[in-house]
A and B are shown apart, each in its own frame.
Chain A
Amino acid sequence: MIEVQRLRKTFNKGKVVAVDEVSFSARDGQITGLLGPNGAGKTTTLRMLYTLLSPDSGQMRIDGIDPAAEPLKVKQALGVVPDSRGLYDRLSARENIRYYGRLQGLAKADIAERIERLADVLDMHEFIDRKTNGFSQGQRVKVAIARALIHEPRTVLLDEPTNGLDVMTTRALRGFLQQLKAEGRCVVLSTHIMQEVAALCDRIVIIAKGRVMAEGTADELLRRSGRDNLEDAFVQLIGSDEGLLA
């Protein structure tokens, strides 16, 4: 459960407003999509949630925990797949995941067991013991997801998870996210791809120029914009088609 209220973040001493009074909520057992063109402030919002940036003003709660007050507790509650998925090239996929398990403070036996389970679910057995330097984008994302979920977090944040993935891997990833949702987790993903939210998300938060333009289910958004397809609704709601094609 994530609640964000009037979150604001500026850079360059207030000259650039990246996130402007953003409010939204994301519930457990649902997939919430942050949809918006590139540079809309999605990544900045997520970075504030996972405490790498601190907001200028506003309130955040993740399962009732304030990230600003208890950053370590929030980081335990969150599983994050950030925009940068840097893996350690000289370590195998298993070692990469194990490292994060250790950093989460898990016991060795638990880590080994969970890696096996994640390897099953994400279909990683073929490359789990190979060094990651020759990995494809899809394999890298799988490792990044596995290491983000090694501590079985209740809330999962994914920044542009399907970036650079082929169709098959994207399908598999969507299936996996549905599974997380079915387990009752709160899943938040950011994306600039309409089809993704349409296919996946229970709730959609449209962000443009640092502001929330609309929030609701796909049907609600269609009704509000008076259009009959989501793409037109999106353009209508953010007021331009800038950044959509990227």
Chain B
Amino acid sequence: MMSVFAKEVLDNFRDRRVILNTLILGPLLGPVIFTVMISFMTSQATERMESALELPVIGAENAPALIGFLEREGVIIEAPPEDPEGAVKREEEEIILRIPADFGAAWRAGQPAPLELIADQSLRYTGTTISRVRGYLNGYASQISQARLQLRGVHPEITRPLQVSVVDLSTPESRGGMLLAFLPYFIMITVFMGSMHMAIDTTAGERERKSLEPLLINPLPRWQIMAGKLLATTLFALMTLALGLVAFVLAMGFLPTADMDMALNLDFRVAALAFILVAPVALLAAALLTILASFAKSFREAQSYMGMVILVPMIPSFWIMIDPTRTETWMTLVPLLSQNVLILGLVRGEPLNMAWLAMSIGSTTVLALLLAAIAGTLYNRPKLIFTSD
């Protein structure tokens, strides 16, 4: 078994493709994409919040007082484009304010005066801009309504039966954690990336080279041959994971955390914990990919199966993005999901629940060993050995 392991490691270290894919691209991909994505998102967000709002207005002459208010608030009023709806659809303008001709009449009659905001709400970034415009308009509206009430001798407070304020208990770490929802996915994908090439090479590759039949004629039980291959694949997965985590820790230094008003709790201590947490996934990924690749006759065929499997670790990450509930005990028993929630906890700076850590490692290891045991029986099937018939 150890001979198989040693040979597979040596064999694959000789392959430049493996080194490039597994040990360089694999670990770097996640951190680089992640860092670029996060920096882009935060810089966009701050830009939108801080830059002066440019607002094209149709019919500005219908409400000179409102325009004056907006200009005092720092909004830059612009002339409207020829075709406002079209301009918004073509994304030339984000939002346009239309003041209808009957605004003045309604205003003087003391009725709600109509205003229209033309925008495409399906564009994600438009939300911020719409709420900024609404904020200015609400400011104007409450100013006017207070003035009207006071004129009639009514205390303006009477229209505010509730005073709601949010006591924000989020720490900088926990706010960072929200942005980091995809960090666990990027960490786990490194494990799958790291084991992919090796899993294919040791199984489908062996069949393609026609070296599997001679190999199995050697006097050792077939499960031991498979175990040696699995161990080698797991080793590569772990190396990729370790390198990936180091890359992540280093990449955090490039993130504009100051602008984001949050701290990302990803130092080498957290990375080490994450490594322990994700290590069983390495065996899980190695066994799963090895089983799949064993059924393929060639490298290429195996690669086409792999594309689908890479999506597997994505499922829990998406689920958490869509439904970010708090961690419950049952979650820590589900492989892949448990790593997701626990890594999120770690980067949020929450204290680590040792029982949860143990359950995650335990359940994942059990599933991984189960898959490994299945893999161990595969070479008892003649169909998976011979290339020709």
Are the C-beta atoms of B11 and A90 separated by less than 8 Å?
Answer: yes
What are the residues of chain A within 8 A of B385 when measuring CB–CB?
52
* Shortest distance between the CB of B295 and any CB in chain A (Å): 18
Are the C-beta atoms of A105 and B219 separated by less than 8 Å?
Answer: yes
A73 at the interface (CB under 8 A from B): yes
Residues 214 to 230 of chain B near chain A (Cβ within 8 Å): 214-221
Residues 187 to 239 of chain B near chain A (Cβ within 8 Å): 206, 209-221
Are the C-beta atoms of A88 and B218 separated by less than 8 Å?
Answer: no
Are the C-beta atoms of B219 and A73 separated by less than 8 Å?
Answer: yes
Q: Which of B4, B213, B218, B387 contacts A75 (CB 8 A)?
A: B218
B250 at the interface (CB under 8 A from A): no
Q: Which of B206, B213, B219 contacts A52 (CB 8 A)?
A: B213
Are the C-beta atoms of A87 and B209 separated by less than 8 Å?
Answer: yes
Are the C-beta atoms of B210 and A72 separated by less than 8 Å?
Answer: no
* Shortest distance between the CB of A132 and any CB in chain B (Å): 10
Inter-chain CA distance A52–B380, complex, in Å, is 8
**A159: nearest residue on chain B (CB-CB)?**
B213
B170 at the interface (CB under 8 A from A): no
Known: A82-B214, A86-B206. A104 touches B219 (CB 8 A): yes
Are the C-beta atoms of B219 and A72 separated by less than 8 Å?
Answer: yes
Known: A90-B11, A91-B10. A104 touches B214 (CB 8 A): no
What are the residues of chain A within 8 A of B219 when measuring CB–CB?
72-73, 75-76, 103-105
Known: A72-B221, A90-B14, A90-B15. A52 touches B214 (CB 8 A): no
Inter-chain CA distance A147–B382, complex, in Å, is 23
What are the residues of chain A within 8 A of B143 when measuring CB–CB?
none
What are the residues of chain B within 8 A of A91 when measuring CB–CB?
7, 10-11, 14
Q: Which among A52, A53, A91, A95 has the greatest number of chain B C-beta atoms within 10 A?
A: A52
Inter-chain CA distance A131–B11, complex, in Å, is 11
Inter-chain CA distance A180–B216, complex, in Å, is 24
* Shortest distance between the CB of B301 and any CB in chain A (Å): 17
Q: Which of B209, B213, B221 contacts A89 (CB 8 A)?
A: B209
What are the residues of chain B within 8 A of A148 when measuring CB–CB?
214, 217
* Shortest distance between the CB of A97 and any CB in chain B (Å): 12
Interface size classification for chain B? 20 to 34
Interface size classification for chain A? 20 to 34
Are the C-beta atoms of A84 and B387 separated by less than 8 Å?
Answer: yes
* Shortest distance between the CB of B27 and any CB in chain A (Å): 22
* Shortest distance between the CB of B355 and any CB in chain A (Å): 43
Inter-chain CA distance A72–B224, complex, in Å, is 12
Bitwise interface map of A from 66 to 107 toward B, beta carbon under 8 Å scored 1, else 0: 000000110110101111111111110001000110111100
Are the C-beta atoms of A82 and B10 separated by less than 8 Å?
Answer: no
Inter-chain CA distance A78–B213, complex, in Å, is 14
* Shortest distance between the CB of B62 and any CB in chain A (Å): 78
Are the C-beta atoms of A99 and B210 separated by less than 8 Å?
Answer: no
Known: A50-B217, A52-B385, A80-B217. A86 touches B11 (CB 8 A): no
Q: Which of A11, A52, A75, A86 contacts B210 (CB 8 A)?
A: A86
Are the C-beta atoms of A103 and B214 separated by less than 8 Å?
Answer: no
**A86: nearest residue on chain B (CB-CB)?**
B211
Inter-chain CA distance A87–B208, complex, in Å, is 11
Known: A86-B210, A88-B211, A102-B3. A52 touches B216 (CB 8 A): yes
Q: Which of A51, A76, A84, A102 contacts B214 (CB 8 A)?
A: A84
Q: Which of B3, B209, B386 contacts A99 (CB 8 A)?
A: B3
**B389: nearest residue on chain A (CB-CB)?**
A11
**B387: nearest residue on chain A (CB-CB)?**
A84
What are the residues of chain B within 8 A of A86 when measuring CB–CB?
206, 209-214
A144 at the interface (CB under 8 A from B): yes
Known: A90-B11, A91-B10, A103-B3. A84 touches B218 (CB 8 A): no
Residues 374 to 389 of chain B near chain A (Cβ within 8 Å): 382, 385-389
What are the residues of chain A within 8 A of B14 when measuring CB–CB?
90-91, 131
What are the residues of chain B within 8 A of A100 when measuring CB–CB?
214, 218
Bitwise interface map of A from 130 to 151 toward B, beta carbon under 8 Å scored 1, else 0: 0100000000000010011000
What are the residues of chain A within 8 A of B4 when measuring CB–CB?
103
Known: A88-B211, A89-B209. A95 touches B10 (CB 8 A): yes
A-B contact pairs, 10 of them (CB 8 A): A51-B217, A75-B217, A76-B219, A78-B217, A82-B217, A90-B11, A91-B11, A95-B10, A99-B7, A148-B214
Chain A residues with CB under 8 Å of chain B are 11, 50-53, 72-73, 75-76, 78, 80-91, 95, 99-100, 102-105, 131, 144, 147-148
Chain B residues with CB under 8 Å of chain A are 3-4, 6-7, 10-12, 14-15, 206, 209-221, 382, 385-389
